Amino acid sequence: MSEVVRQFTVGTDDDGVRLDRWFKRHLPQVGFATVSRWARTGQIRLDGKRAAPEDRLVAGQVLRVPPGGNIKPSGDGPKPRRELTDEEVAEAEAMVLEQDRAAIVLNKPPGLATQGGTGTLRHVDGLLDAFCGPNDPRPRLVHRLDKDTSGVLLVARTPGSAAFFSKRFSGRTASKIYWALVVGVPDIADGLIELPIAKQPGTGGEKMHVDEAGGQAAKTRYRMIERAGNSAAWVELHPLTGRTHQLRVHMAAIGHPIVGDGKYGGQGAFLTGTISRKMHLHARRLVIEHPGGDRLDVTAPLPEHFAASMKQLGFTEELGEIDLSAPAPMSREVKKRAAKAHAKDFRKERRGERRKRGASDKPERPRPARPAKGKAPAGKAASRSTAEVKSGGGKPGTGKPAAPRKPGGARP
């Protein structure tokens, strides 16, 4: 515990970082409650001015930290790094496409999770210690790929570069290009899918679905590169938002699930013959601004099963390469509306099919015979004649006699 006022100059790696995050990085022994109290009482200063925990730091600012601070128990400090085996180090190094002082770009293989979770012990995050020394900051993920999705995965080497790249992803200035093989051939060759996505109830958040009433906005631009008859197509996907399973949900919603994606396409997502049953979704290319001022542009080669399927379907990779130095204009509004309408029509057809299947399981009820044209049903005729008798020909059910008519049929 320090007994003197401390002065720190914000470094370039901490530019844009929240004040509370700065404390977690550099003074982890000072608890969040203490940071909040210091800020509330004006004891933390940035260039002489009061600061709040959520304030963003700027490189070069002078941070005043008062004496004292809660010392956390040793068990709450940073976890010791796990020693990697030689096989794990080799696995990590085999994924590297490019690396420099700010970033490591990996080609994640299909079947390897990005991060750990319940029952997931083998993942990319657990291999990142292979890229740093004992006194270096641990590299950190700045975006993610699904376990069965392969391709470009960006890892930041320092906290500063992590903040820099995260801003580019959240600001939608990073360009991510995916390749996918889909079942069938889209009616619209180049369009924009704009369908909101939400967690599907009853799945524990592990599955998403289109929810036009309460879902989060999601946009995907797609372009068909080539087709294999009517059975499959090779498409380029450009996510304009970053929702969970967005590409998989959107392609299934327009009736063309990604080949091998049984989660969203069911049995219809698998092609016959020798085409692999693995998912055919690959993060092909990433273009993003680099902290050094240049542009980071990396392309990941296809995994074996994807490349083999491309060859069997007669697709040539060169056809899918595009120039991103001058981004192509967005699809026209009419294409967007058409893609959205196509998705709605497909969902209506599916609902109709389910209703038909349900109706076919129920026994057909006999319908009453229709009366001859011009004659009322027997039950209704009997009821009406009885009412007329009781009312003396007046209004049925009133019990009042009908008023006498004048000559010509008019009532008085």
3 state SS of 350: helix
Question: Phi and psi for 7 in degrees, rounded to 5?
Answer: -120, 130
> What is the Cα 171 distance to its own chain's centre?
16
Q: 186 Cβ partners below 8 Å, 6+ apart?
A: 222, 224, 233, 235, 254, 256, 342
Decide the pairing of beta strands 45-46 and 62-65.
antiparallel
Phi-psi category of residue 240: left, alpha or beta, with phi > 0 → left and psi -120 to 50 → alpha? alpha
Q: Which helix (H) or strand (E) holds 378?
A: helix 378-391
Amino acid residing at 345: D
At 71 the pLDDT is 47
- Return d(Cα 222, Cα 13) in angstroms, integer: 36
Identified catalytic residue from 55, 129, 146, 261? 146
Take residue 348 and report the two structure tokens written for it.
């209506």
> What is the Cα 387 distance to its own chain's centre?
67
Question: Are the CB atoms for 178 and 151 separated by under 8 Å?
Answer: yes
Question: Are the CB atoms for 11 and 70 separated by under 8 Å?
Answer: no
Question: Are the CB atoms for 281 and 258 separated by under 8 Å?
Answer: yes
The residue ranges of every structural domain in the chain are 6-70, 91-163, 172-352
Amino acid residing at 67: P
At 204 the pLDDT is 73
At 228 the pLDDT is 96
Q: What would the pLDDT profile of 211-239 be if each residue is shown by its tens digit?
A: 999 999 999 999 999 999 999 999 999 99
Q: Which residues in the chain land under pLDDT 50?
A: 1, 71-77, 326-331, 376-399, 406, 409-412
> What is the Cα 385 distance to its own chain's centre?
68
- Return d(Cα 237, Cα 247) in angstroms, integer: 7
- Return d(Cα 22, Cα 156) in angstroms, integer: 17
At 29 the pLDDT is 80
What are 13's strand-pairing partners?
A: none
The answer to whether the 91-163 and 172-352 domains have the same CATH topology is yes
- Return d(Cα 8, Cα 19) in angstroms, integer: 12
At 264 the pLDDT is 97
Instruction: Specify the CATH number of the domain 91-163.
Output: 3.30.2350.10
- Return d(Cα 139, Cα 260) in angstroms, integer: 32
Q: Rounded to whole angstroms, what are the CA distances from 206 to 198, 254, 264, 393?
A: 11, 21, 11, 71
Closest CA to 59 of 8, 16, 7, 6: 16
Give me the CATH topology for the region 172-352. Answer: Pseudouridine synthase (3.30.2350)
- Return d(Cα 47, Cα 33) in angstroms, integer: 23
Question: Are the CB atoms for 260 and 248 separated by under 8 Å?
Answer: no
Helix/strand/coil (H/E/C) assignment for every residue in 207-272 = CEEECCCCCECCEEEEEEEEEECCCEEEEEEEECCCCCCHHHHHHHHCCCCECCCHHHHHHHHCCC
Q: 26 Cβ partners below 8 Å, 6+ apart?
A: 8
3 state SS of 167: helix
* CATH class label, 6-70: alpha beta
Task: Based on the residue annotation, tell me whether 294 is a catalytic residue of this protein.
Answer: no
